[in-house]
Structure formats: structure tokens, C-alpha cells
Chain A
Amino acid sequence: MAAAPFDVAAVPRSREFEWIRRNPTIVIGAAILALFAVLALIAPWIANDPLSFEPLNRLKRPSAEFWFGTDQFGRDVYSRVVYGTRISLIVGISVACIATAAGLVIGVLCGYYRRLDDTVMRVMDGLMAIPAILLAIALITLMKASLFIVIVAIAIPEIPRVVRLVRSVVLTVRGLPYIEAAVASGTRARLIMTRHILPNTVAPLIVQATYVCAAAILTEAGLSFLGAGTPPEIPSWGNVISTGRTFFQISPWIIFFPGVMLAIAVLAINLVGDGLRDSLDPRIARRM
């Protein structure tokens, strides 16, 4: 390339602006998520112990001392909500990782080995027939409740959808001439799968992962709200909302603040997901 007499630094900057202008939803969503991540990281410095309770300060309204009020045990709702950010982010990200990884492996294998396909897809159909929240509840009640079990139980019902997505991509790709060429030239099956098929699944998988993440955060909150999720001593948003259930008529703030945080977090993830979908797959973007 010939030496160009213009300010090189200016070029990428204007491209960045262009990208931001074209994808405002991704930027807004990501900014909110970054804020949540910071909140989760610095929780010990900006919030008090979420477990300490002062019976004298039961069901206090939001005030300068207790920004989000207190619950029926005199625990500071603000501190619990800040710490809850950690739990929700951990659950969302872990479930998204587990479900996508498992779905990817099963989906690629199913799409590539037709003999495996029939049996595995019947199992997936069966899993999909069971409502996600009931499946998760069933798995959690049988094992000793812990955050890890909750994550696994939420991830399992999400796997079939990922499998179907990956499988459909693999089925489309494997009929293409370049795969035939790879097979004909004696490339090993594992290499074909990892190098020639896998890259095609990345874009739709990333989009799917954001939706799985959002769904997982909502499901965790729902399970904890029902009293069948994260162990009650862990301050997750769902658990905070659950403690507010009995007293919501006189102290609605216990439900309001974690509920709003939950909605904002899910909204931000969905914005990122919608934005990614639009920019990665313009064909769908025009329709939705």
C-alpha cells in the first residue's frame, strides 16, 4: 500500500462512530450491561452486608438511610439488590455458556451423523414438550438446592432449542459443494466439523445465546419467587421479590426495586440480542 498523506488515526474513529450510529440498540444495551457488571464487581464497596438484619428497622420506607427501604427482617433492600446483580449475571452467563456449548456439540453431531439424528431429536422433542419452568423445578426439587444445581436445571430445558438451531445450520451447510470437496479430498470428519461447519454456526449462536441469557435470568427469578430456586439465604433478585410477597400491600418497595432491576437487565440483553441479530443477519432484520 502506498503511503497516504492523510491522518490515519481519523479513519478508524469515523468508522466507529458510523458503527455506533448504525447499531444504537447494541450500544445502549451493552452500556447498561457494563453498568450492571461494574455494580456486581464493586458490590462490597457500595453496599452493606446483604445478610445482616436489624429487627428494629423492619419494613422501613425508602429513605436517605435505606435507599430501597428494608424488608420484614430489617434487611437493607438496596444492599440485597446490588448483591443480587451478581447472582443474576452469573446465572445468565453460565446458563448461556452451558446451553450453547452443549447444544453446539449435540447439534453438530446430529447434523453430521444422520444415524444419531433420529434418536437424539426424539429426546429433544420430548424435552421440549415439558414446560421449561416445570422441568427446572423437577430437577431442582430432586437435588440439594444450590446455585450450581439451579444453573444446570435452567440450562437443560434451553438445550433443545440450541440443538435445533445448530442442526438446521449444519444440514444446510453440509449439502454445499465445498463440504463435498472436503470429503472427497479425504478430510477427516472431525476436521470437517470443526474447520468447515462450525464457523457457520457462530453468528446465529451468539444471537441465540443472548436470548438464552435473558430467559435464564427471568427463569431464575421466577423459580426463586416460587420458593423453588436459588437457596433463600443467597440474595438473588427473585429471592428478594419472594420475601416481599407477604407484605407487598404495605411495603411494595421490596418487590418494586429488584423487579425494575430485573426488567432493565433483561431489556438490555434483549437490545443487544436484537441489535446483533439485525447486523449479523440482514435478511431477518428487514422483517422483524
Chain B
Amino acid sequence: MTAYIIRRLLATIPVMIFVALFVFLLLHLTPGDPAAVIAGDEASPAAIEEIRRKLGLDLPLWQQFGIYVSNLLRGDLGTSIFSNLPVLTLVKQRLEPSIVLALSTLLVAISFAIPMGVLAAWKVGTAIDRVVMGFSVLGFAVPVFLIGYFLIYIFAIELHWLPVQGYQPLAQGIGQTARSIVLPAFALGMVYMALIARITRASMLEVLSQDYIRTAHAKGVAMSVVLLRHALKNAAVPIVTVIGIGLALLISGVVITETVFNIPGLGRLTVDAILKRDYPIIQGLIILFASVKVLVNLMIDISYAFFDPRIRY
């Protein structure tokens, strides 16, 4: 087990080196002078020269990459061009709303999708099954911003139950935060729910057709115990995998959802940086999101061994 974890850890190194190289080259692969790109269309030659010197763009490329990586390893993600603040500081300021949004979405999606999938598998072929499957087909098609604006229109503008947009930080009390995060979490959670419900149903159907389930029924084990203890635990590996794959969807979705609901998180930071062409922020955020994704994949691989002790690498 330990050897497996170590081997998986080592395998992430080349991936992260590639990501760092890609992000680094992003500026250099563009046609034209990176310093001029950063400075913008209306910069004077002196300003461009200033940026070139400040960012070390006059050094040889391999040396620049060396400096970039060693900075990354020390936790230095670069400095914003416009606010002159370290990217890491900006990220820390925006971290809370994004994490709260991501975790609530995960919570909403899992707590709705797994019961839906189990129910559909149990009642396979019935109207309940067809409703769940219909929902999951629809969930893949409707874009998050359409669901978002739809929910705002119904629950905030028409019914006045919840705030229209914005985010209340945890410091103001968890109740306020919850009120401001319910709609974004459901909007973002819809596609995720569809994905998890579909795979839960498929995985459960496969397990439910096996002999030991029939044995459990024959012994007179209660239906709920068969479904949850005997079947769901053994159906868990594909479900956990899909929850992990879905995290990638979640990261892309967070950027759009935060824009729809005006949440000042990492997604807004990304969009603002794009609109202002603040490249160090964009580069830093790509590194950050990619690390999260690699880390999640690592955790999924390790969790396999927990859910299915037969898996040994």
C-alpha cells in the first residue's frame, strides 16, 4: 500500500513539470514580445523595457524557467501586473467563497444523486427510473448559467426567498453564508448530480445482479440493508471515480457560476485577470487549479484500495 502511494506520488511529478512548462511557455509561445504583450497596446518603449527588466525577460529562456520553477517551489506564484500584489495573496483573499461553493456543490450533488441512482436501480424499468434517467440526460444539456439565472428568477426575484446575487462570508455567520450559497450550489450541482446519479444507477444495477445479493435476499435481509450495505458499498468504486472526474467539471463550472452569482471567488479573479490581461494571475491560477486536479486524482486512486481491498498495485 505504502509503496503504491509513493509510486503514485512520484508519477505526479512529470505531470506537474509539464504544467509548469506549459504555463511558463504560454507567454513565450505567443507571436511577438512577451513584455509588449504584458504592457498592452498603448505602452511606450520605455515601459516595455521596464517590464522586461522587472520580469527578467531579458535572461535566456532556460534560466527564466529555472527561476520560475524555484519560485513556484517556494510558494511564489508571481506578482500581479496591475495591483502589484503577490498572486498568492490575491488567491488567499478569494479562496473562501470558492471553497465554500465547491464543497456545498459537492454536498448537494452527492446527497441528491446517490439516493436517486440507488432508487432508479432498485425500481429499474419503472416510472421512477425513467424520471431519474430523464433528469440526468437533461442535466448534461442545460448549461449552468441558464440554470443559475432560472433559479435566481424564481427564488430571488419572484418569491424573494433568497438573495439575488453576492456572497456573505463565513465571518458573518453560517446562516447568512448558507442563504447566499444555496442557489449557486444547486445551479452548479445539477450537471454533477446528473453524472453521479447515472453512474450510481449503472454501478448498482451491475452489483444487484450478482449471486451474493440473491443470497442476501434469500436469507431474508431487509431491502434497505441489501441496497445500502451489500450493494452500495460494492458499487462505490465507479461512483468515487466519477465524483473525482466531476471535480474537473466543477472547476470550470465555478468560474461561470461565480460570474452568474457575483461571488468574489477564484473564478471572478480568473475572469477579471483575463479581461485585464493580468498574465501572472492567469498563470498562477492555472498552476493552482491543475495542482488541485492532480491531487484529487491521486486521492481517488488511493481511495480505490480502501473501497475494494482486492485492488493492489
Of B30, B144, B274, the most chain A CB neighbours within 10 A belong to B274
Instruction: Verify if B5 is at the interface (C-beta below 8 Å from A).
Output: no
For B13-38 the 0/1 string (1 means CB < 8 A from A) is 01111110011001101110000010
A131 in complex: contacting residue of B137, B141, B251, B274, CB < 8 Å:
B251
For B136-178 the 0/1 string (1 means CB < 8 A from A) is 0110111111100100110001000000100000000000000
A211–chain B nearest beta-carbon distance, Å: 9
Q: CA of A117 to CA of B219 in the docked complex: distance in angstroms?
A: 51
| Beta-carbon contact of B142 and A263 below 8 Å | yes
| Beta-carbon contact of B271 and A260 below 8 Å | no
| Beta-carbon contact of A129 and B19 below 8 Å | yes
22 A–B pairs (Cβ distance < 8 Å), ordered by A:
A122-B18, A125-B14, A130-B19, A130-B293, A131-B251, A131-B289, A131-B290, A133-B251, A134-B255, A134-B270, A134-B286, A141-B274, A142-B27, A218-B143, A256-B146, A263-B143, A264-B141, A266-B142, A267-B138, A271-B137, A287-B202, A288-B198
Q: CA of A122 to CA of B23 in the docked complex: distance in angstroms?
A: 16
B141 in complex: contacting residue of A129, A138, A263, CB < 8 Å:
A263
The residue on A at minimum CB distance from B277 is A141
Which residues of B are found within 8 Å of A231, using beta-carbon distances?
none
Which residues of A are found within 8 Å of B113, using beta-carbon distances?
none
Majority secondary structure of chain A interface residues (helix, strand, loop or mixed)? helix
Interface residues of A in 257-288 (CB under 8 A from B): 259-260, 262-264, 266-267, 270-271, 274, 287-288
* Known interface pairs A227-B271, A262-B146; 20 further A-B residue pairs with C-beta atoms within 8 A, sorted by A's residue number: A125-B15, A126-B15, A129-B18, A129-B294, A131-B248, A131-B293, A134-B270, A218-B143, A225-B256, A226-B271, A227-B274, A227-B275, A248-B153, A255-B145, A255-B149, A260-B146, A262-B143, A263-B143, A264-B141, A274-B137
The residue on A at minimum CB distance from B255 is A133
Q: CA of A109 to CA of B41 in the docked complex: distance in angstroms?
A: 42
| Beta-carbon contact of A143 and B30 below 8 Å | yes
A279–chain B nearest beta-carbon distance, Å: 17
With A225-B259, A248-B149, A249-B164 known as contacts, the answer to whether A132 contacts B248 (CB < 8 A) is yes
Which residues of A are found within 8 Å of B152, using beta-carbon distances?
248
With A129-B293, A226-B271, A287-B202 known as contacts, the answer to whether A138 contacts B286 (CB < 8 A) is yes
The residue on A at minimum CB distance from B191 is A218
Instruction: Verify if B57 is at the interface (C-beta below 8 Å from A).
Output: no
| Beta-carbon contact of B141 and A142 below 8 Å | no
A73–chain B nearest beta-carbon distance, Å: 20
Instruction: Verify if A182 is at the interface (C-beta below 8 Å from B).
Output: no
Instruction: Verify if B206 is at the interface (C-beta below 8 Å from A).
Output: yes
Q: CA of A264 to CA of B220 in the docked complex: distance in angstroms?
A: 47
A146–chain B nearest beta-carbon distance, Å: 14
Count how many chain B residues have C-beta atoms less than 8 Å from C-beta atoms of the other chain: 50
With A137-B270, A226-B271, A259-B145 known as contacts, the answer to whether A122 contacts B153 (CB < 8 A) is no
Instruction: Verify if A62 is at the interface (C-beta below 8 Å from B).
Output: no
Instruction: Verify if B63 is at the interface (C-beta below 8 Å from A).
Output: no
| Beta-carbon contact of B290 and A129 below 8 Å | yes
A255 in complex: contacting residue of B146, B256, B270, B282, CB < 8 Å:
B146
A137 in complex: contacting residue of B17, B18, B30, B282, CB < 8 Å:
B282
Which residues of B are found within 8 Å of A266, using beta-carbon distances?
140-143
Q: CA of A252 to CA of B164 in the docked complex: distance in angstroms?
A: 14
B257–chain A nearest beta-carbon distance, Å: 10
The 10 closest A-B pairs by CB, nearest first: A126-B18, A259-B146, A267-B141, A133-B252, A266-B141, A131-B251, A129-B290, A142-B30, A263-B142, A125-B15
Which residues of A are found within 8 Å of B285, using beta-carbon distances?
134
Instruction: Verify if A241 is at the interface (C-beta below 8 Å from B).
Output: yes
A226 in complex: contacting residue of B140, B153, B164, B255, CB < 8 Å:
B255
Interface residues of B in 278-313 (CB under 8 A from A): 282, 285-286, 289-290, 293-294
Of A141, A262, A264, A287, the most chain B CB neighbours within 10 A belong to A141
For B62-99 the 0/1 string (1 means CB < 8 A from A) is 00000000000000000000000000000000000000
